[in-house]
A = this chain, B = another copy of it.
Amino acid sequence: MRGAVIHAPGDVRFETLDDPKILKPTDAIIRTAVTCVCGSDLWPWRGLDAVDEPRPMGHEYVGFVEEVGRDVTGLRPGQFVVGSFATSDNSCPHCVNGFQSNCLHREFMSTCQAEYVRIPNAAGTLVTSDGVPDERFWPGLLANSDVMGTGWYAADAAEVRPGSTAVVVGDGAVGLCAVIAAKEMGAERIIAMSRHANRQKLALDFGATDIVTERGEEGVARIKELTGGIGADSVLECVGTAESMRQALHSTRPGGNVGFVGVPHDVAIDGQELFFSHVGLRGGPAPVRRYLPDLVERVLTGRIDPGKVFDLTLPLEQVADGYRAMNERRAVKALLKP
């Protein structure tokens, strides 16, 4: 088969690779229907995460079951499936507690920009749909496997409630999906922080009520101004830098909550400042599996359309162009078709 391999920063190639095989009896192999490039894939591409040796890329996927290991129950070849970027047995104590992305048997996906993919913990990870959904739903289902599930967790961790005010920090695909989540959870006011016209437009389309272009302490001041001097009930931090975290914490009212889903890079939180702020904080890799059945339903009924974050569609073999377009901000997110 063929798939993407990163050799060095800026150097992603589409190559012939060994077909994936069942390695454990709990594995399945899927044939990729659609996959994509994630904002986090740009970290190694930009040289900000090390690339010590060539390795496959990609962790988002929907596809067709091709083969299942002998311990995989409830799945059969031909089924259309979607799963999370973090696999889970869906039965360990952490899974039962709803934190499948901390499953005792978790394996992070990392080879999905390819024609075929091995899925560990297949029975606990993959969610099926009745028959094969119309192809127009595939982008939305693909978004569920990471960015929509992650945006949903940001809103959940930030405890968005009906009638509340939510701020979304970050206008990447996750931030845009976080707007969808805040809207679905009933936030009355949704303030998206964005400086890019196309992303602002999508945020408004997804339910944002206000756009703030200021950043840092100016951004905080603007949020305070929009919330009667008090701060927002919920802030969804979808970036992961020290500045975005500070902005999130300072924009939240006492007793409010920050949900943070951008992987923190050089972020330290001062204990005393957090203490006196009364702000609640929860983050992490999103437990997408917890939300998947509900999100699949929302996509297939047309209630949400997170697939709109894909503003570039390429044949899988042009995967390198997808990285380039996203790196240069010519695209929010690139969808890849095998």
Contact = CB atoms under 8 A, between A and B. Distances in A.
Contact of A284 (B228, B230, B265, B277): B277
A283 B257 CA distance: 12
A272 B267 CA distance: 7
Given A157-B280, A281-B280, A282-B281, A98 B271 contact: no
A122 interface: no
Interface in A110-157: 157
Contact of A260 (B98, B242, B260, B275): B275
Nearest to A272: B264
Interface string A274-299: 11111111111101000000000000
Contacts of A268: 268-271
A263 interface: yes
A99 interface: yes
Nearest to A233: B97
Contacts of A284: 254, 275-278
A98 B166 CA distance: 19
Given A99-B255, A230-B93, A282 B272 contact: no
B271 A271 contact: no
Contacts of A253: 93-94, 97
A274 B283 CA distance: 7
B94 A230 contact: yes
A208 interface: no
A178 interface: no
Contacts of A242: 271
A87 to B, nearest CB: 16
Nearest to A273: B264
Contact of A93 (B228, B263, B278, B281): B228
Nearest to A260: B275
Contact of A264 (B102, B255, B271): B271
B254 A94 contact: yes
Contacts of A275: 260, 263-264, 283-285
Contacts of A93: 228, 230, 253
Interface of A: 93-94, 97-99, 101-102, 157, 228, 230, 242, 245, 253-255, 260, 263-272, 274-285, 287
12 contacts: A93-B253, A94-B253, A97-B253, A99-B255, A102-B278, A242-B271, A263-B275, A268-B268, A268-B271, A269-B271, A275-B285, A278-B282
